């Protein structure tokens, strides 16, 4: 895993070496082991390396036989041994043993058709010196990030936005529409980012940049258009899944450094760890985060997994104060407002991994999305069933199966509220985003804390839905309702939040590479073919995955009630200890000066939190608090106090010029 950067300027000659050095310096956490630069005419490429494969000769940039094609690469190509053999048989010559080198030769053979041959997680920048053309690309689901700034004839790109901002000529200003979107669906949409004029290459896309301009193309898209094989028995589906995930885990163990695994105590991570422990590495090291607050803690389930697998286990215990203390670092690395503190414990967890001498971990991320593991999928099913008879006195009671801790005699008021919440828009079943509209409506209420002038032209929820729906595949409404819900969750939540703010950013902050067997494209495409009844059987989530895990994962973990990963929020900022930055970021002066939020409403929220000993009871208020703090921090860190002058280029940069 690494960081990449670059400058392409067709307008005029510009000094690139110093700027590329600063760009690499901005993201040295992504690649602390080595650094390299390539400069050729209008092009300059930079690379910060985290050495995992071919430790001795795999430094970048890497070139082809006649040095006409150069590449910098962030990620891993897991099927590179097979690709290398094919290319050798075609007469290509290699000078390294790295996975990166296959890219320049694949480009020579296949051009932009090369990406369909890759099984990996990647962000790629490839410069063709003959054509004077840059090729940028990102993996199918967006595991690795790639951002850019484009003006006429000039393009600046990097693995992180801060890398692009190393160029002092690029202005830094928050983009109101995207901020409003984040306060609706948690993430930016499409190619947008929280900053004006900064964009991202979308997952499953590549882009050419030449004198003719920037052209982006899609090479892969998640699709549920395939005909489901309804008559195929569950046993055959389960066997195929088991073999696919086993192979996905096997190839993700390819590394010249030790590989560990995250172990949360759920089915997904335990299944991956079991496959590795039983088939490939009987000395597996695993890593978990526990919480001092028992409402969020899963350590008892983690212990069950560890006792069953007999791994060498490491745990970091997370307190509310820990989250509050590190939150500015979290925002520095996420580069976006967030409305949950959930990334913070994962920052601490990756630090634990690094402290124990590891650079790579396998994780269970993606299983909930591709095998329907979230309550939002169950809610959609219950509401559709209820909508057929909205006056029924028993259909809505299926909600009790999802939230039994709310539907009790002690919580009659909360149960009544939840029932009313889920009845909202109950019969609008033809709405393309029916599965998500309630969540988006609830989250969008947080926008009432904004200064009206800041979000004046960003539109309401109806306009957001219209804008998002226009991006859906043409045959979207012909899919089964569950498939529609999964598509939205995968393309919005998973790609731009789970794999970004909670994934790449929190791991790479401590120079750790996460690898995701469930997000092998073969597993994803398999999951899209699995009949709905085997993804979710009745209201049992991940039905086929649990079948595959039986016998490998302890039964207690398979049968445990689903507990979504969460972390404390308001108590981290107004608990026993309030970090000094909180009062600064939330002061009337700071709120008024920045102009993003209504200072009177923010003051009221702070007062309410303090009156309740730092614990806001409403989910909406918690989202508002962390969203406001993170936005204020984003402005402080990137807009007002960005550290161009204090970030020095690495001293060990290897420079190539042609």
Give per-residue pLDDT as tens, 115-129: 999 999 999 999 999
Is the confidence at residue 107, as pLDDT, over 90? yes
More confident: 564 or 40: 40
Q: CA 70 to CA 90: how far, in whole Å? A: 20
Strands (DSSP E) contained in 241-345 are 259-262, 285-291, 312-318
DSSP secondary structure, 480-504, as one string: -HHHHHHHHIIIIIIIIIITIIIII
Is the confidence at residue 490, as pLDDT, over 80? yes
Outline where 310-458 has alpha helix (H).
Answer: 320-334, 343-355, 367-370, 375-387, 399-402, 412-423, 437-444
**Percentage above 70 pLDDT, the chain:** 99
| Residue in the structure block whose two tokens are 């490839």 | 126
Is the confidence at residue 416, as pLDDT, over 90? no
More confident: 590 or 281: 590
Q: Which pLDDT value is given to residue 616? A: 66
Q: Which pLDDT value is given to residue 57? A: 82
What are the tokens at 621?
A: 């208020």
What are the tokens at 122?
A: 């990647």
What are the tokens at 26?
A: 């901005």
Q: Please, which contacts does 216-221 make with residues 24 or more away whose CB atoms are closer than 8 Å? A: 216/191, 217/112, 219/112, 219/115, 219/116, 219/137, 220/115, 220/116, 220/140, 220/521, 221/473
Among the ranges given (53-67, 193-207, 330-344), the one the predictor scored with the smallest mean pLDDT? 53-67
What are the tokens at 635?
A: 């402005």
Report which DSSP code applies to 208.
E
Intra-chain end-to-end CA distance of the chain, in Å: 26
If one counts every other C-beta atom within 10 angstroms of the C-beta of residue 242, the result is 18
Domain with CATH 3.60.20.10 in the chain: 2-220
Is the confidence at residue 564, as pLDDT, over 90? no
Domain with CATH 3.40.50.620 in the chain: 234-371+488-559
If one counts every other C-beta atom within 10 angstroms of the C-beta of residue 617, the result is 10
Phi, psi of 393 (to 5 degrees): -95, 0
Mean pLDDT, the chain, rounded, equals 95
Outline where 121-233 has alpha helix (H).
Answer: 161-164, 176-185
Distances (CA, A) of 606 to 155, 182, 303, 616, 617: 43, 22, 38, 10, 13
Given a contact cutoff of 8 angstroms between Cβ atoms, the answer to whether 347 and 509 are in contact is yes
Q: Which pLDDT value is given to residue 648? A: 77
| Residue in the structure block whose two tokens are 């918690």 | 622
Which CATH number is correct for 2-220, 3.30.830.10, 3.90.930.60, 3.40.605.10, 3.60.20.10? 3.60.20.10
Confidence of residue 229 (pLDDT cuts 50, 70, 90): confident
Q: CA 269 to CA 271: how far, in whole Å? A: 5
Q: CA 40 to CA 47: how far, in whole Å? A: 15
Q: CA 364 to CA 346: how far, in whole Å? A: 14
> What digits encode the pLDDT tens for the residues 364-398?
999 999 999 999 999 999 999 999 999 998 898 89
Could you tell me which residues are beta bridge partners of residue 149?
156
Quick one: which H or E segment has residue 35? Answer: strand 34-40
Q: Which pLDDT value is given to residue 614? A: 66
Work out the average pLDDT over 182-199. Answer: 97
Among the ranges given (108-112, 291-295, 355-359, 490-494), the one the predictor scored with the smallest mean pLDDT? 291-295
Work out the average pLDDT over 345-351. Answer: 98
Longest distance between any two alpha carbons in the chain, whole Å: 76
If one counts every other C-beta atom within 10 angstroms of the C-beta of residue 253, the result is 19
Is the confidence at residue 445, as pLDDT, over 80? yes
Region of residue 242 (phi > 0: left; psi between -120 and 50: alpha; otherwise: beta): alpha
Record the pTM.
0.96
> What digits encode the pLDDT tens for the residues 62-81?
999 999 999 999 999 999 99
Q: CA 548 to CA 542: how far, in whole Å? A: 10
C-alpha torsion angle, residues 579, 584, 586, 588 (rounded to 10): 150
Nearest of 290, 310, 287 to residue 298 by alpha carbon: 290
Q: What is the CATH number of domain 234-371+488-559?
A: 3.40.50.620
Confidence of residue 647 (pLDDT cuts 50, 70, 90): confident
DSSP secondary structure, 71-95, as one string: EEEEEEETTHHHHHHHHHHTT---S
Q: Strands 69-77 and 653-657, how do they pair? A: unpaired
Q: Strands 653-657 and 2-9, how do they pair? A: unpaired
Confidence of residue 56 (pLDDT cuts 50, 70, 90): confident
Q: CA 22 to CA 44: how far, in whole Å? A: 13
Q: Strands 205-210 and 653-657, how do they pair? A: unpaired
Q: CA 305 to CA 267: how far, in whole Å? A: 9
Task: Tell me the angle at which helices 412-423 and 437-444 cross, rounded to the nearest 10 degrees.
Answer: 110
Distances (CA, A) of 72 to 76, 101, 120, 144, 584: 12, 10, 15, 13, 40
Task: Tell me the angle at which helices 619-634 and 437-444 cross, rounded to the nearest 10 degrees.
Answer: 60
Confidence of residue 156 (pLDDT cuts 50, 70, 90): very high
Nearest of 57, 61, 30, 26 to residue 44 by alpha carbon: 61
What are the tokens at 19?
A: 């700027």
Work out the average pLDDT over 161-178. Answer: 97
């Amino acid at each position: 895993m690494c960081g990449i950067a670059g400058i392409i300027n067709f307008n005029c000659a510009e000094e690139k070496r110093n700027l590329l050095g600063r760009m690499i310096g901005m993201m040295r956490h992504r690649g602390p082991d080595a650094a390299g630069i390539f400069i050729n005419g209008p092009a300059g490429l930079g690379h910060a390396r985290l050495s995992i494969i071919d430790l001795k000769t795999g430094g970048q940039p890497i070139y082809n036989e006649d040095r006409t094609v150069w590449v910098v690469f962030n990620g891993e190509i897991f099927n590179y041994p097979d690709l290398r053999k094919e290319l050798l048989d075609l007469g290509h010559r290699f000078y390294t043993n790295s996975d990166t080198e296959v890219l320049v030769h694949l480009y020579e053979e296949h051009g932009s058709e090369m990406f369909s041959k890759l099984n990996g997680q990647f962000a790629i920048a490839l410069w063709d010196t003959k054509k004077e053309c840059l090729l940028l690309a990102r993996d199918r689901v967006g595991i690795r990030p790639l951002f850019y700034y484009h003006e006429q004839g000039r393009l600046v790109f990097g693995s992180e936005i801060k890398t692009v901002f190393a160029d002092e000529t690029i202005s830094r200003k928050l983009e109101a529409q995207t901020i409003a979107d984040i306060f609706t669906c948690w993430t930016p949409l499409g190619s947008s980012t929280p900053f004006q004029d900064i964009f991202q290459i979308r997952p499953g896309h590549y882009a050419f940049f030449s004198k003719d301009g920037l052209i982006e193309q899609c090479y892969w898209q998640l699709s549920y258009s395939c005909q489901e094989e309804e008559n195929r028995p569950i046993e055959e589906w389960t066997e195929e899944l088991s073999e696919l995930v086993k192979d996905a885990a096997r190839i993700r163990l390819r590394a010249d450094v030790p590989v560990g695994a995250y172990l949360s105590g759920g089915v997904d991570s335990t299944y991956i760890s079991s496959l590795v422990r039983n088939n490939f590495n009987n000395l597996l090291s695993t890593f978990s985060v526990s919480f001092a607050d028992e409402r969020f803690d899963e350590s008892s389930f983690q212990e069950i997994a560890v006792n069953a697998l007999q791994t060498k286990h490491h745990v970091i215990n997370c307190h509310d104060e820990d989250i509050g203390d590190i939150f500015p670092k979290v925002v520095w690395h996420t580069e976006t407002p967030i409305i949950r503190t959930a990334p913070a414990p994962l920052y601490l967890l990756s630090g634990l991994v690094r402290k124990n001498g590891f650079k790579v971990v396998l994780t269970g991320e993606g299983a909930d999305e591709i095998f329907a593991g979230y309550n939002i999928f169950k809610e959609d099913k219950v509401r559709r069933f209820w909508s057929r008879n909205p006056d029924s006195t028993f259909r809505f009671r299926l909600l009790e199966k999802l939230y039994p801790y709310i539907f009790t005699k002690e919580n009659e008021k909360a149960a009544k509220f939840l029932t009313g919440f889920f009845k909202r828009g109950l019969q609008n079943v033809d709405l393309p985003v029916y599965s998500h509209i309630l969540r988006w409506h609830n989250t969008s209420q947080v926008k009432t804390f904004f200064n009206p002038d800041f979000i004046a032209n960003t539109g309401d929820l109806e306009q957001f839905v219209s804008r998002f729906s226009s991006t859906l595949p043409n045959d979207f409404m012909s899919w089964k309702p569950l498939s529609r819900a999964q598509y939205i969750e995968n393309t919005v939540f998973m790609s731009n939040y789970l794999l970004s703010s909670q994934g790449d950013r929190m791991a790479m902050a401590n120079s750790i590479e996460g690898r995701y067997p469930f997000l092998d494209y073969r597993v994803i495409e398999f999951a899209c073919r699995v009949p709905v009844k085997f993804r979710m059987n009745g209201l049992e989530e991940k039905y086929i995955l649990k079948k595959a895990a039986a016998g490998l994962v302890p039964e207690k973990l398979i049968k445990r009630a689903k507990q979504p990963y969460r972390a404390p929020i308001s108590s981290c900022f107004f608990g026993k200890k309030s970090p000094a930055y909180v009062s600064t970021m939330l002061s009337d002066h700071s709120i008024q000066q920045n102009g993003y939020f209504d200072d009177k409403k923010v003051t009221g929220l702070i007062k309410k939190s303090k009156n309740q000993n730092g614990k806001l009871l409403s989910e909406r208020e918690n989202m508002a608090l962390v969203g406001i703090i993170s936005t204020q921090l984003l402005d402080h860190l990137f807009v007002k106090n960005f550290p161009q002058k204090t970030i020095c280029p690495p001293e060990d940069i290897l420079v190539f010029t042609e």
